[in-house]
Amino acid sequence: MGILKDRFKVKAEASSAELKDLLKQHGNKKIGEVQLSQIYQGMRGITGLVSETSLLDAKEGIRFRGYSIPELQEKLPKIPGGTEPLPEGLFYLMLIGELPDDEAVAYITSSWQRRSHVPNHVFAAIDALPVTAHPMTMFVTGIMALQTESNFARRYAEGMNKKDYWEAVFDDSMDLLARLPRVAAYIYRRKYRNNQHIQPNGLLDWAGNLAHMLGYEDESFKELMRLYMTIHADHEGGNVSAHTTHLVGSALSDPYLSLAAGMNGLAGPLHGLANQEVVKWIMEMQKELKTEVPTKKQIETYVRKTLSEGKVVPGYGHAVLRKTDPRFTAQMDFAKRHFPEDPLVQIVWNVYDVVPPILESLGKVKNPWPNVDAHSGALLVHYGMVEYEFYTVLFGVSRALGVLASLIWDRALGFAIERPKSVTTELVKSWLQGKDEIWGE
Ligand code: NMX
Ligand code: MLT
């Protein structure tokens, strides 16, 4: 079957048996209470999902199978002479639950190289869109066009046994991950580089090859892509892209359909699109203030203006985190090591000094600190990637690692179709008068 699939099978069978036992013994234990306001406010704080690949702590930030971002940077395999972790290693960790050795990472790199062929109709589907279409629209179109290749869809139509679902999802996920960099690079070169495409380099790792196909050969950009692809990969199961992929997958929609749905969620400005919004916001500020280097006082005035116009400050706040996002810090450290004098990076750091006290003073923002999106765009601009509408595609290529690893686990553990109970406000009012029950079966 291949070392990754073999190892996953052993882990999944053990976890499945353990879970059955756990639920038999403790399935009726209460894990919390839900207040009426929570169901009107984005289900915030309701524990309602299981996602094995990572866990978010409000104060500490994300841990992937128990490892923080600095720990990943230290412990995951790197290219010879490199300093950033290889995302292949993170995928192994999320899937298998253990740190990989160099050999396991090399296995994934070569497996993704072998699976990376993208059929011509996918490029034709992207080409059918006007070049003015948003890169995320092109990305989702590309993923949907790739769905013709789904093993899961084909095998389901042939009458696959449910115990084999995970294996077909595994194959689709590996194929998709292998193909996404090619699709992303195609979109970039089509929209911004006059359709001058660059063939993959079979000697490079997954993120290094993405950098190459995008047209960025600087070794430190390749290192940035390795870090970028690692830190954006997963943020436990409740964020919009992960939750959507899981939800759609629970209907046994194949991984292509499920990932495309998740990517549509990532394309929202309160989620992954915030990375483009941050750079757009800074560029608009520079234009409006007629200066390349706004002072902190000028930034403060611009932040207050943004808020007074009923807009959010992009890159700040979080539904769960209550401190500076460690993904922001990892990117700040990268910039400090590689280009501390970069003017846009300097602005990002000045914004970091200015924004939190202002948001805090509003008295309603639960987290005034920066999230991952506050920093990522400035790093890309440094290397010349100024086309900010493309940034969410890069986030999406990375996020696929986490949500697809999770999807494989979903099918291996036999998770049910997701179908929570909803109510109407009429029913809520009638329940408040003691006339009706509000809970479902
Ligand atoms: N700027 C202005 N107002 C904000 C901000 C912000 N950055 N963050 C939260 N608020 C407001 C929010 O709009 C809400 O206002 P109202 O009651 O008038 O509707 C109030 O503060 C309370 O919101 P919270 O409970 O703090 O935040 P919530 O959990 O609802 O939303 C975000 C979380 C991330 C959607 C929100 O902080 C936000 O809109 N941030 C800016 C967009 C952004 O950076 N998104 C990227 C998130 C990371 N990612 O990649 O997905
Ligand atoms: C993410 O990476 O998905 C974002 O930080 C949003 C979230 O966790 O809700």
Ligand 2 pocket: which of 57, 239, 318, 324 to mutate (most atoms within 8 A of CB): 239
Question: What's the confidence (pLDDT) of residue 439?
Answer: 74
Q: Which residues line ligand 2 (CB under 6 A)?
A: 235, 239, 271, 318-320, 371-372
Contact 229, 398 (CB under 8 A): yes
For a ligand 1 pocket test, name from 273, 360, 364, 399 the mutation site with the most ligand atoms within 8 angstroms of its C-beta. 364
331-343 pLDDT, tens digit per residue, is 999 999 999 999 9
Which two three-digit tokens encode residue 126?
A: 């992207």
Which position has the token pair 């940077």?
73
Which pLDDT band holds residue 365 (cuts at 50, 70, 90)?
very high
What pLDDT is attached to residue 1? 74
Distance 65 CA to ligand 1 centre (A): 27
pLDDT at 440: 62
Q: 318 CA to middle of ligand 1, Å?
A: 6
Average pLDDT over residues 28-37: 96
Atom in ligand 2 nearest the alpha carbon of residue 373: 5
- Length of the chain equals 441
What does pTM read for this prediction?
A: 0.98
Ligand 1 atom with the smallest distance to the CA of 325 is: 48
Segment 275-295, tens digit of pLDDT:
999 999 999 999 999 999 999
Q: What is the tens place of the pLDDT at every residue in 213-236?
A: 999 999 999 999 999 999 999 999
In this predicted structure, the answer to whether residue 410 has a pLDDT above a threshold of 70 is yes
User: What pLDDT is stored for residue 399 in this prediction?
Assistant: 99
Query: In angstroms, how far is the first alpha carbon of the chain from the final one?
Result: 41
Residue 411's pLDDT is what? 98
**What ligand has the least distance to the C-alpha of 303?**
1
Other residues' Cβ atoms within 10 Å of the Cβ of residue 306:
18
Q: Is 186's pLDDT higher than 80?
A: yes
Write down the catalytic residue from 232, 373, 382, 410: 373
65: left (phi over 0), alpha (psi -120 to 50) or beta: left
| pLDDT attached to residue 427 | 95
Query: How far apart (Å, rounded) are the C-alpha atoms in residues 434 and 441?
Result: 18
Residues forming beta bridges with residue 57, ordered by sequence position: 61
Give residue 412's pLDDT. Answer: 98
The catalytically annotated residue of 318, 325, 382, 410 is 318
Angle 168-418-367 (CA atoms, 0-180°, nearest 5)? 110
pLDDT at residue 200 is higher than 70: yes
Q: Is the pLDDT of residue 161 over 80?
A: yes
**271 given a catalytic annotation:** yes
Quote the percentage of the chain above a pLDDT of 90: 98
Rounded to the nearest angstrom, the distance between the alpha carbon of 187 and the centre of ligand 1 is: 30
The model's pLDDT over 111-156, given as tens digits with 9 standing for 90+, comes to 999 999 999 999 999 999 999 999 999 999 999 999 999 999 999 9
CA 367 to ligand 1 centroid distance, Å? 8
Nearest CA, atom 4, ligand 1: 312
Query: From atom 7 of ligand 2, which residue's Cα is the shortest distance away?
Result: 239
Which residues' Cβ are closer than 6 Å to ligand 1?
A: 270-272, 274, 307, 312-319, 359, 364-367, 371-373
In the predicted model, what is the mean pLDDT of the chain?
Answer: 97
Mean pLDDT of 304-332: 98
Shortest-distance atom of ligand 2 to CA 238: 9
318 is a catalytic site residue: yes
pLDDT at 441: 54
